[in-house]
Structure 1
Amino acid sequence: MKTLELTAAEILERNIRRQYFADQQLAKLQNPLSSLAYCSDPNTHKQANYLVDAVTPEGYLARIDFRLNRPIEADFYNPNLIPYPKGSKYPYLAIVRMSPKVAGLYHHELAYCDLRWARTRTIHRKVLECATPGIKMNFGKDWKSLDGACRSFPFLQLYQGHTDPRVFFSPHGEPLMVVGSNGKSKKNCLGQFIIDLRVVIPNLATKMNIKHLPIRFPVLTELSRPDLKEIEKNWFVMYDALDSDKEYLHYDFQTRALAPMDVPANPKQYKLIGQPTPKLITGLLQNLKKGDYAANDLHQSTNSLLVTLCDFPCIPTIHNTVMIEIFHVKYLNYYELYYRRYLVVMNATAPFNILGRTENIMYAGTDPTKLVYTVSMVWNSGLYPTHKRWDDDLHGGREIWAALDSAERAKRKLEAEAEAEDFKLKQAHALENSVDVSDYPLGFSENDEVDISKGMVARGLRKRDSSGLAISSEIQSLPSIASLTTEIALATKSTTSVYTRPTPIQRISKPNQNPFVSDRYHGWLDDILLINFGIEDRESGTIHVRARELLECIKVVE
């Protein structure tokens, strides 16, 4: 019997049809995430996700030595590693926190260096060490919190420096950092700020091959929230998978709170969005007796990433792609401070409803009795590739995600129209009865802009500039670090600014590129992640993990 040989085009069409059918079946499931409830050993009741390093010979974490070329009396902890492009001289850039004593008090600083692989002297374990001298990050002159802002901890009003760095790539490829420092308002003792690392690390744009991307955060830019608290820590940025120009801030998991990054500071103008934290997560907290002098709460930990729940080149769509982040359950008493780690899985689009979580995450090579604090995670598929780069023309899928995207947008349009109509009725009722319309749960104002593409109302947000929504990479290129620093110094005497919505960046891709795909923000189950963590607030480590192993045995929200 003669075998029919298919052409490349016929194979591609067949694969597209197969993927389309599979995706339609997935979309019909009441909860697509239920497919991730699979455990590699079904005979074992999984109590923890034990992660083994996919790169080191022993499978253990890689310790990081920051002391080389920088002798200083300080501990280096809570590291952030981001990979350089393949073929670079060194594999990673590292940003780390250190707390040297200044005049008897701890002053929090950040330093960076390029890392290289090395071996320990005695047993030749594979470790990472600074290959270049560690350099302190210079953000300009420190500042104190305003008088009366630090009511609970008055000593925090002093110059704290910069703490808890969280480094990540945006979907556009920008290397950004959210960092803590003294607050700028009377309500806020310690606040959160964002900055583009290309401003403070010379030649980073060249090393990362991102000179074409404009800089949106050229100074430490203060972030805010409608109900700003005295102490704010560990916020992370989220990007809607269908519109990566829309940035959100996730403030808290304990009482879940998130909002668009450009939300007005007045809580009357905007209410926080999102569903409450499900019992699947809040149930991790223990009922501790008051006499035990102990407490436990939920702490945000890493940045967010997108992952498609199948192997490359499975076509990313709204039905098979989720957002992930690691959070902590923090236990504290007079004798012990301890963290348990869990991966949370959310919808990839606003309002990012929580879908499920893992069991407790353990890193091979760490002591379970020690404090391990997870800081950040990043896709590392460039250095340790498991497949070729995504190409819409080669791998297909445009028809699939475009059809699904069109259906989703049509659905959201109807929802938005219904929501807007409901608001008009509420507004009419408020005017008739002299009620403040901002007291309604949604908190809309009369200048609201209905965003049809997202099926939600941009509540009290600033209008976009009608002169243009994007910065052309051909028109606005990245200035040199030296000229940029000079421009900033001339433009302002302050080292910080209050957040104002920057002009959205134009994605550097084909106009009809799959919107989910991003080299540094998105990956597949067979891709490798780099997870960075501090140990006992004294040491640093990292571990290379396949996404499939991290997302195993998911417990799904009912």
Structure 2
Amino acid sequence: MNPNIIPHPGLLDTWIITAQLYKPPSARTASVWYAELVCDAAFSDDKRVLSCLEPPLQLPIPATFGDSSKCLGDLSYFSLSVGPHDARVFYGPEIPYTIYGSNSFFTCFGQWISDFRILVDWGLDTINEHEFRQSRELQRPMPWNSVEKNWFLFWDDLGQMFLHHEITPARVFSKLELDGSVGPNLALTTSASDQECLKRFLPETGKIHQATNSLAITLCARSDQFCEPDATNTFVLFIIQQKTIRGIHPVYEPYVVLMRRSMPFEIYAVSSKPTWIFGRSIRAEKSEGNSFTGLLEDTSEMLYLTSISWKSHGQKYHGFLDDTLFLAFGREDSDAGGIDVKAGDLLTELGTCA
């Protein structure tokens, strides 16, 4: 479940897949142990299936143990959790990272970061302490939520690192320090205009969640000799999701967001329509349970975006409209999938905020 795909650092036509270990429904109540799996993967002959070359291994992410008194009531089961949840694996401008959920020292359940290279056979590379060689818990401006999830890193046009915590009901993001601490919330100056833009293009139903990591994209083609990245054409790209409940079945609709790469980091554009992944099915399901009357509900297969990356080997954080992206997604909380798409196709029909 919840897959990530990044290019292998040394092998062409090979990628690294990470994903959450799937637990069948019968086992979910019997175990509180969680794990992330990893493997080198390649495409099949028909280029339709990207699969492990060898059986996957467990990522050696250590369990964390926080303050169980912060997990009260319905959240008490989080204090029993052992191991990482829903990791995101992604490239920054220089190196790969992973952010994952685990027991927190600051709240019930928080977000942690590690240099991904120490968790796999990355090959020869210099790994410095300041690159999160030691796993660190990430912090946020007050107030904390009891359960934190789906935070993502982004880098400005000077290479400084920031942490995006929330998109709604108001944006929260801050400058990240190397010990995991953060500065104040930097989103206050554009909060009203950002929310106005989101409401203009997203239906006012359901909840909005952050979904993926971020990338930087220049809105012209790499093949265009006149295309030069600058502050006017290069943005931070990430995907958010709107979650709605159809009967008893959750459905996610993904929207692309572009934000500027320098202060005040305002939202520049949002998808005017949700992204539809070819192969996602629509079906009629019969609602069940005492609170339902057995009516047929038109619903969609539950696909939820988890990560984005550039497909080409050697490409890390920045790309152009004619570069190819991997979108990785979970499917019905039991399966994993991906699709490759030109960045320009993903960014069609954007609505600009101004």
TM over 0.5: yes
Within-5 A mapping of 1:83-232: 83-85=7-9, 88=11, 91-100=14-23, 101=27, 104-118=30-44, 126-143=48-65, 145-172=67-94, 174-185=95-106, 188-201=107-120, 203-206=121-124, 211-212=125-126, 214-215=128-129, 216-227=131-142, 228-232=144-148
What do residues 328-383 of structure 1 show as CA deviations (whole Å, max 9, x unaligned)? Answer: 00113661111000000111223321011112001112224111110111112338
Does structure 1 residue 78 correspond to structure 2 residue 2? Answer: yes
Tell me which residue corresponds to 2:319. Answer: 523
Aligned residues: 323
Distance 1:271 1:179 in 2: 22
Query: For the pair shown, which has the larger CA radius of gyration, 1 or 2?
Result: 1
Contact 1:149 1:157 in 2 (8 A): yes
Residues 377-392 of structure 1: matches in 2 within 5 Å?
377-382=308-313
Q: 1:333 to 1:366 in 2, by over 3 A?
A: closer
**Secondary structure, aligned partner of 2:71:** coil
Which amino acid is 1:281 matched to? L
Q: Which runs of 5+ in 1 are unaligned?
A: 1-76, 288-295, 384-518
CA distance in structure 2 between the aligned counterparts of 1:162 and 1:317, rounded to whole angstroms: 38
Does residue 262 of structure 1 match 2:177?
yes
Q: What is the deviation of 1:142? A: 4.5
| Residue in 2 that maps onto 1:397 | none
Q: Give runs of aligned pairs for residues 186-335 of structure 1, distance below 5 A.
A: 188-201=107-120, 203-206=121-124, 211-212=125-126, 214-215=128-129, 216-227=131-142, 228-241=144-157, 243-244=158-159, 246-254=160-168, 255-262=170-177, 270-274=184-188, 275-276=190-191, 277-283=194-200, 284-286=202-204, 296-312=206-222, 313=225, 314-332=227-245, 335=248
Look up the match of 2:285. Answer: none
Q: Work out whether residues 34 and 81 of structure 2, in 8 Å CA contact, stay in contact via their aligned partners in 1.
A: no
Once residues 328 and 103 of structure 1 are traced to their aligned partners in structure 2, the CA distance between those partners, rounded to angstroms, is 28
Distance 2:72 2:178 in 1: 24
Hey, what does 2:297 align to over in structure 1? none
- Residue 198 of structure 1: how far off its partner (Å): 1.2
Q: What is the CA–CA distance in structure 1 between the aligned matches of 2:269 and 2:150, rounded to whole Å?
A: 21
The letter of the residue matching 2:97 is L
Which amino acid is the alignment partner of residue 138 of structure 2? L
Q: Is the 8 A contact 2:216 2:235 kept in 1?
A: yes
* Change over 3 Å in CA distance of 1:182–1:266 after alignment to 2: closer
Cα distance in structure 2, aligned partners of 1:374 and 1:152: 27
Cα offset for 1:138?
1.9
For residues 187 and 309 of structure 2, the distance between their equivalents in structure 1, rounded to whole angstroms, comes to: 26
**Distance between the aligned counterparts of 1:543 and 1:333, measured in 2?**
25
The structure whose residues are more often strand, as a share, is 2
The residue aligned with 2:286 is: none
Bigger relative contact order, structure 1 or 2 (CA pairs below 8 A, ≥6 apart): 1
AA partner of residue 307 (structure 2): S
- Alpha-carbon contact 1:150-1:156 (below 8 Å) kept: no
Amino acid at match of 1:204: W
SS, match of residue 3 in structure 2 = strand
Counterpart position of 2:268: 355
Q: Which residue of 1 aligns with 2:348?
A: 552
Residue number in structure 2 paired with 1:486: none
Q: CA deviation at 1:144?
A: 5.1
The 2-side partners of 1:322 and 1:339 are apart by 25
Alignment counterpart, residue 374 of structure 1, candidates 290, 305, 310: 305
Residue 264 of structure 1: how far off its partner (Å): 10
Given that residues 95 and 113 in structure 1 are in contact (C-alpha distance below 8 angstroms), is that contact kept between their aligned partners in structure 2?
yes
Q: Does the 8 Å CA contact 2:63/2:83 hold for their aligned counterparts? A: no
TM-score by length of 1: 0.54
Superposition CA RMSD, Å: 2.5
Determine the C-alpha separation between the residues in 2 that align with 1:525 and 1:308.
7
Does the 8 Å contact 1:526/1:547 carry over to 2?
yes
Cα gap change, 1:157 to 1:545, in 2 (>3 Å):
same
Q: Which runs of 5+ in 2 are unaligned?
A: 283-299
- Deviations 1:218-238 (Å, cap 9, x if unpaired)? 122100012122111000001
Q: Match of 2:311, as an amino acid? A: N
Amino acid at match of 2:349: C
For 2:164 and 2:29, the matched residues in 1 are separated by: 36
CA distance in 2, matches of 1:103, 1:533: 24
Specify which structure has the higher proportion of helix: 1
Q: TM-score if structure 2 supplies the norm length?
A: 0.84
Verify the 8 A CA contact 1:144 1:159 in the aligned structure 2: no
Distance in 1 (CA, whole Å) between partners of 2:34 and 2:247 is 24
What secondary structure sits across from 2:262 in the alignment?
Answer: coil
Percent identity between the two aligned chains: 28
Partner SS for 2:197: helix
Shift of 1:99: 4.0
The residue type paired with residue 109 of structure 1 is A
Which stretches of structure 1, 4 residues or longer, exceed 6 Å deviation after superposition? 263-267
Secondary structure at the counterpart of residue 68 of structure 2:
coil
Q: Tell me which amino acid in the other structure corresponds to 1:261.
A: L
CA contact (8 A) 1:285 1:297 kept: no
Q: Deviations over 1:216-257 (max 9, x none)?
A: 11122100012122111000001011x11x211111111111
CA contact (8 A) 1:177 1:196 kept: yes
Q: Equivalents in 2 of 1:372, 1:280: separation in Å?
A: 25
Q: 1:151 and 1:84, CA in 2 relative to 1: closer, same or farther beyond 3 A? A: same
Letter in 1 for 2:57: I
Q: CA deviation at 1:168?
A: 1.0
